[in-house]
């Protein structure tokens, strides 16, 4: 299965889950984005590494990196390998003297380590198809995976119950709030549209 390389594009506060954040991963050679919801601690750990900052004492992810380096083990890459019921799963691909070892990891921890090791982040096409959104050059089908604002639709005054909208209205909502970069809400709308296609 071919891997697709991603990079961290942005970290933003989650609109619907006030204590969480969304890490937006972008396809290296394409327009698709993969929003991953993480906790505030992991978001801080990723942001600190991206900004090149360090504290007086090692944080947990720094400690893990230092431990791997002491054991002469390199983090070659991370792979976002699966998504089940909206939860992403990841693997760390380690190299210890030429021996490749894979370790199961929470995606948030894997991303925090990837930013410290400056190693590639990968996923698979199937995951991008199922959980990705497209920002530019959208086809009509891809527009179903665009961002939408949380709360009431200001044009109709209807509640935030997605089942009360037609697919056409959902697509319009997605397009309308694309610029707001609410990736978590985009994932919710995408899932609603895909669920209707199945039925």
With contact defined as beta carbons under 8 Å apart, do 189 and 148 qualify?
A: yes
- C-alpha 41/C-alpha 47 separation (Å) is 10
30 and 103 fall within a common domain: yes
- C-alpha 121/C-alpha 146 separation (Å) is 23
- C-alpha 59/C-alpha 38 separation (Å) is 17
Write down which residue in 93, 113, 130 finishes a domain: 130
Q: What is the CATH number of the domain that holds 51?
A: 3.10.690.10
- C-alpha 72/C-alpha 81 separation (Å) is 25
126 and 140 fall within a common domain: no
103 and 20 fall within a common domain: yes
| Mean predicted confidence (pLDDT) in 29-33 | 88
| Mean predicted confidence (pLDDT) in 42-49 | 86
DSSP 137: S
A 10 A CB-CB count for 103 gives: 12
48 and 86 fall within a common domain: yes
Q: For residue range 67-94, what is the model confidence (pLDDT) as tens digits?
A: 999 999 999 999 999 998 888 999 999 9
Q: How far apart are the first and last CA of the chain?
A: 29
Q: For residue range 104-159, what is the model confidence (pLDDT) as tens digits?
A: 999 999 999 999 999 999 999 999 988 888 865 443 333 333 332 232 332 233 33
Write down which residue in 130, 147, 174 finishes a domain: 130
A 10 A CB-CB count for 198 gives: 5
Write down which residue in 72, 106, 130 finishes a domain: 130
- Of the CA atoms within 13 Å of residue 45, those in its CB half-sphere come to 24
- Give the residue numbers spanning the domain of 172: 136-198
pTM: 0.66
146 and 107 fall within a common domain: no
User: Which CA distances in Å does 199 have to 137, 164, 179, 183, 188?
Assistant: 28, 16, 30, 25, 17
57 and 104 fall within a common domain: yes
pLDDT of 162 reads 64
Burial 123-142 (b: 16+ CB within 10 A, else e): bbeebbeebbbbbeebeeeb
Burial class (CB in 10 A: 0-12, 13-18, 19+), 98: exposed
């Amino acid at each position: 299965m071919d891997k697709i390389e991603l990079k961290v594009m942005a970290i933003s506060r989650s609109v619907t889950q006030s204590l969480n954040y969304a890490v937006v991963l972008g396809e290296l050679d394409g327009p698709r984005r993969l929003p991953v919801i993480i906790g505030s601690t992991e978001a801080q750990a990723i942001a600190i590494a991206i900004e090149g900052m360090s504290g007086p004492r090692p944080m947990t992810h720094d400690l893990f990196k230092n431990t791997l380096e002491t054991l002469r083990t390199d983090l070659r890459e991370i792979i976002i390998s699966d998504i089940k019921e909206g939860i992403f799963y990841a693997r760390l691909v380690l190299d210890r003297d030429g021996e490749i070892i894979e370790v199961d990891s929470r995606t948030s921890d894997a991303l925090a380590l990837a930013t410290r090791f400056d190693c590639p982040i990968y996923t698979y096409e199937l995951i991008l198809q199922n959980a990705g959104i497209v920002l530019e050059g959208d086809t009509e089908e891809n527009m179903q995976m665009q961002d939408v604002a949380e709360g009431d639709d200001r044009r109709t005054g209807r509640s935030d119950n997605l089942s009360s909208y037609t697919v056409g209205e959902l697509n319009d909502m997605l397009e309308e709030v694309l610029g707001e970069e609410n990736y978590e809400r985009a994932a919710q709308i995408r899932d609603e549209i895909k669920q209707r296609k199945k039925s």
